[in-house]
Amino acid sequence: MTAVLSPITGEVIEDVAATTPNGLDAVLRAAEAAAPHWRAVPASERGRLLVEIGRRMRARAAEIAELETLNTGKLPADTRREADRAAACFEYYGGWADKAHGTVVPVPGPFHTYTTREPYGVVAGIIPWNVPYFFAAKKIAPALAFGNAVVLKPAAETPLTALLLGRIVGEVLAEAGHPAGVAQVVHGGGDVGRALVEDPRVRLVVFTGSDATGARVGAAAAAHFAPSALELGGKSPQLVFADADLDAAAAGVVEGFTGSCGQMCIAGSRLYVQREVFPDVLERVARRVGELRVGDPRAAGTQVGPQVTAAQAAKTRAFVDGGTARGARVVARAGTPAEPELAGGNWVAPTVFTGVPAGDPLLTEEVFGPVLCAEPFDDEDDAVRLAHDTRFGLGAGVWTGDPGRAHRLADALRVGTVWVNTYRILSDMVPFGGVGASGYGREGGTDAVHLYTWTKSVWLSTSPGVPAGYRKD
């Protein structure tokens, strides 16, 4: 049993039994047995079932959002949006299921040559603790749509909504007469995740988590020739030019590093501002941060909740204390709640630094907490140079009133997603992923078909008597 704790009060919400090695073996046996069955189900039928799952998820969205807030400490507005997005994800991939097909290739010679898209078989999805329900949907829905069996492992700290999603999916599949092995959710920490990705019965690994774990997961999957997609961390820059709407930029910057209490892979944790407006923008950002209401996410008016775990909160505070001790200057800090009943919560004050020494961990590492480092830049080249001064490449924000500059920057930045005059907007219709230490592979949009299937090529001779090896091109 592992105790699932509330990040708001520190109390136990529920005890959940971890999947044992024997249990995992049974799960993988069931998944392997179910995979050929599910591949043979007509794609349009798979699509209909996914849409039905989405409908049931929508009907329970309020209840699910409440549970997610309890387990993650995220604001109800965020968890409700994620619950709706998770249902929409099933509907979106339900629509995709019968539209993933191959092509006929007009090769020279007496051949009919075509490609088909093949499911992998058993897909393992592994997710972190910051967006458990939506990420569970994002892994399960496309895997099923394109004909795979799927085993999902949420983080040990936040399994509740993913387990609930597993039950909703299982219910719909069982009612339609499909085996439970088609979609299963296991529970446990890194040991269960490692056993899952190391198992040769797993033919594709789709992982979201930190770069350190991602490197291990990618290597473990490659050891038995399973491809992997790694959606990893970031240290994303926000670039504010003097010609931008500075108030909108300041609001976007603050939301970009304090949303989900900073526990976002796409957190805009490095702020670079054109020198002539640097003091002005810093002042606007500092004022907004100073006014943030940090507290119980369920209370009206709260803008920032707690961190998901006590360990993560301690890690974030250590980054802040270390940076301060090494000479970084704090220019703004929000408060934390004083109510005695919240004394056990994982509170961290959103903090803005400037003058962070080059190479300091505050600038180089993903804090995964509400911490921002701000510095000035001189021109576009300087802004791009600073933006690229990281091993990560997940996202970047550009704030400018000049459309030409917006396109130049979008072209120059080596990151998976560029937002211009906005930030942190995502859709299943748009591919998402990173470069460098932010990982590889793309989920979402048309890229999902290529992630969850492989290409088979078929050559068929249309002319009897053409010897094998005939080639004329």
In whole angstroms, how close is the CB of 438 to ligand NAD at the nearest point? 6
Q: Are 101 and 116 in contact (CB under 8 A)?
A: yes
In whole angstroms, how close is the CB of 191 to ligand NAD at the nearest point? 8
In whole angstroms, how close is the CB of 192 to ligand NAD at the nearest point? 7
Strands 237-240 and 270-274: parallel
Bridge partners, residue 455, by sequence: 117
Among candidates 12, 15, 11, which has minimal Cα distance to 2?
A: 15
C-alpha–C-alpha distance, residues 42 and 150, integer Å:
17
Q: Which residue, judged by CB position, is nearest to ligand NAD in the bound state?
A: 193
Q: Are 103 and 112 in contact (CB under 8 A)?
A: no
In whole angstroms, how close is the CB of 339 to ligand NAD at the nearest point? 28
In whole angstroms, how close is the CB of 1 to ligand NAD at the nearest point? 17
What are the distances in angstroms from CA 292 to CA 259, 268, 272? 11, 17, 22
Q: Are 366 and 234 in contact (CB under 8 A)?
A: yes
Give the nearer residue to ligand NAD in terms of CB position, either 30 or 126. 126
In whole angstroms, how close is the CB of 307 to ligand NAD at the nearest point? 11
Give the nearer residue to ligand NAD in terms of CB position, either 155 or 244. 155
Give the nearer residue to ligand NAD in terms of CB position, either 210 or 324. 210
C-alpha–C-alpha distance, residues 255 and 7, integer Å:
21
In whole angstroms, how close is the CB of 273 to ligand NAD at the nearest point? 24
Q: What one-letter code names the amino acid at 24?
A: L
Give the nearer residue to ligand NAD in terms of CB position, either 97 or 155. 155
Select which of 52, 68, 82, 231 is catalytic: 231
In whole angstroms, how close is the CB of 416 to ligand NAD at the nearest point? 8
Give the nearer residue to ligand NAD in terms of CB position, either 82 or 231. 231
Give the nearer residue to ligand NAD in terms of CB position, either 130 or 400. 130
Question: How far separated are the first and last CA of the chain, in Å rounded?
Answer: 64
Give the nearer residue to ligand NAD in terms of CB position, either 440 or 454. 440
Give the binding site for ligand NAD (CB under 6 A): 126-130, 153, 155-156, 189-190, 193-194, 197, 208-210, 213, 216-217, 231-234, 265, 366, 368, 394, 434
366 is a catalytic site residue: no
Give the nearer residue to ligand NAD in terms of CB position, either 134 or 241. 134
- Residues identified as active-site: 231
